[in-house]
């Protein structure tokens, strides 16, 4: 791998400095350069299977048959992540991508990367960050997983059984190499740049399936173009929703809704009612927001140009329709919404910290060799980051964070396991400054659901009059994760704001 990384880094060329932009009134101006690139990371489907009842679950005891497609005498499945059953992939609906935006400010480089994958653990991302720092001079980096439920299992939790890992280390290495290649190409593309940002609130297309119902409905765009308003370098979109509209019966690899969000931004959208938007070109990058608490796509929402009372069973068609509608909403926002710009200095802070693991399922999976060894006894190390670019302030957090932790609305319902006053206060966006506030979820780590402590509910009686425990805790590190992340975000923002000009 070191030889390959050296070859990638060798392609990162030097560039001449920007012309003076007049910023600063007596202070040396800060110039911005930017570059973007994407790399296809779609897995090779070596072997497949026959799903006799079409439910997406591999059940040989019911007649499902494995197919040795490459004829090597063994079955090499590509297991898809998400849901609770083994789902070997049978084909590809659309490509998975690693897409990178590199910003250079004041001689230092920072990167925002979107990856079409359920999530990557920090121990897989950290070596990529270290290599990018050494070889490409990238001082700060966020890798944000889209959380596609039609992407390969990068953890091991979705194999043939609870004791058999579904992770393919060769594929994870391909993803990591793809991220580094995208970063290297983005460095090669560095050019004098300017940016604009937009943000609006619209709950269309989003539903919260767990009480209390709280949705972070912010739709945020960062458009970066060459200096003087020339070609588009990148358009980064942040939207809080699960990428799982393909459905659990689908066995096709896909980036889900993100595919046509990006395609609609880059190539344009023509809606069935005749409304048209020209493509922006460049590299569109999708990033997830706060998707915990069962934040899900809502087919039939008012964004939909074609509606139906019931979601279509054709998940591929459904994801494309909703993705194009979200892309159209982005175009409308850029056309008529308030835009923000100004200030080229990038400020950055990040912190590493341990998070206690009390989830018995995760502990058992680690002991069985399905999950990797924890960084510390009973804990793993994760990270948070904070970035400021002019009017834009961005916080990157691990896992699927509940919206209540981001925008407020934490409750302490009767029946919860830890009654009392909420401990993760104030909400993250209330601690942020600037007019455009963005929280990236699944950033540099996937640790499962990040649940407010006073809403933790594993033991009866259950909250909100429910007869059984709500979904979420089974895929969370434990009830103390949210407080640890909130504490570290608060510290990172305090350090970031102390450096504000």
User: What pLDDT does residue 369 have?
Assistant: 86
Q: Are 482 and 405 in contact, with CB atoms under 8 Å apart?
A: yes
φ/ψ of 208, rounded to 5, equals -105, 120
Which one, of 44, 47, 49, lies nearest residue 71 by Cα?
A: 47
Residues 6+ apart with CB under 8 A from 170: none
- Four-point Cα dihedral 326, 36, 181, 103, nearest 10: -120
pTM for the model stands at 0.92
Q: Are 100 and 128 in contact, with CB atoms under 8 Å apart?
A: no
Cβ burial of 51 (10 Å; 0-12, 13-18, 19+) is buried
Confidence band, pLDDT 50/70/90 cuts, at residue 12: very low
Confidence band, pLDDT 50/70/90 cuts, at residue 202: confident
389-430 pLDDT, tens digit each: 999 999 999 999 999 999 999 999 999 999 999 999 999 999
CA 448 vs. chain centroid, Å, equals 12
Confidence band, pLDDT 50/70/90 cuts, at residue 300: low
227-283 pLDDT, tens digit each: 987 899 999 999 999 999 999 999 999 999 999 999 999 999 998 888 999 999 999
CA distance 343 to 333: 22
């Amino acid at each position: 791998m070191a030889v390959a990384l050296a070859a990638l880094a060798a392609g990162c060329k030097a560039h001449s400095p920007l012309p003076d932009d007049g910023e600063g009134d007596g202070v040396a101006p800060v110039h911005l350069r930017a570059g973007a690139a994407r790399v296809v990371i779609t897995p090779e489907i070596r072997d497949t299977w026959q799903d006799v009842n079409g439910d997406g679950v591999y059940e040989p005891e019911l007649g499902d048959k494995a197919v040795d497609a490459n004829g090597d005498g063994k079955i090499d499945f590509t297991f898809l992540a998400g849901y609770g059953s083994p789902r070997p992939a049978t084909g590809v609906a659309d490509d998975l991508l690693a897409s990178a935006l590199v910003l250079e400010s004041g001689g230092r480089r920072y990167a925002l990367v979107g990856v079409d994958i359920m999530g990557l653990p920090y121990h897989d991302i950290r070596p990529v960050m270290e290599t990018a720092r050494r070889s490409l001079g990238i001082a700060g980096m966020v890798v944000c997983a889209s959380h596609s439920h039609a992407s390969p299992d990068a953890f091991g939790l979705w194999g043939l059984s609870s004791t058999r890992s579904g992770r393919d280390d060769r594929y994870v290495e391909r993803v990591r190499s793809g991220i580094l290649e995208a970063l290297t190409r983005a460095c090669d593309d560095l050019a004098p740049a300017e940016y604009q940002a937009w943000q609006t609130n619209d709950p269309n297309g989003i539903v919260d399936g767990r009480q209390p119902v709280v949705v972070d409905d912010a739709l945020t765009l960062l458009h970066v173009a060459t200096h003087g308003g020339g070609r588009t370098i990148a358009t980064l979109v942040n939207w809080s929703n699960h990428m799982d509209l393909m459905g659990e019966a689908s066995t096709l690899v896909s980036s889900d809704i993100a595919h046509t969000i990006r395609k609609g931004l880059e190539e344009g959208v023509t809606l069935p009612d005749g409304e048209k938007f020209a493509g922006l070109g460049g590299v569109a990058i999708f990033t997830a927001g706060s998707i915990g608490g069962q934040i899900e796509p809502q087919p039939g929402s008012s964004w939909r140009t074609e509606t139906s009372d019931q979601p279509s069973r054709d998940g591929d068609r459904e994801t494309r329709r909703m993705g194009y509608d979200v892309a159209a909403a982005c175009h409308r926002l850029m056309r008529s919404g308030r835009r923000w710009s100004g200030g080229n200095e990038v400020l950055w802070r990040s912190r590493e910290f341990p998070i206690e693991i009390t989830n018995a399922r995760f502990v058992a999976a680690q002991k069985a060799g399905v999950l990797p060894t924890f960084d510390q006894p009973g804990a793993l190390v994760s990270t948070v980051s904070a970035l400021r670019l002019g009017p834009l302030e961005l916080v990157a957090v691990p896992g699927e964070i509940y919206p209540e932790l981001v925008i407020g609305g934490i409750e302490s319902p009767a029946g919860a396991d830890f009654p009392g006053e909420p401990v993760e206060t104030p909400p993250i966006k209330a601690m942020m400054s600037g007019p455009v506030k963005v929280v990236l979820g699944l950033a540099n780590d996937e640790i499962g659901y990040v649940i407010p402590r006073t809403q933790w509910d594993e033991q009866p009686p259950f909250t909100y009059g429910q007869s059984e425990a709500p979904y979420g805790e089974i895929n969370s590190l434990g009830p103390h994760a949210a407080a640890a992340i909130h504490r570290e975000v608060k510290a990172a923002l305090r350090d970031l704001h102390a450096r504000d000009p």
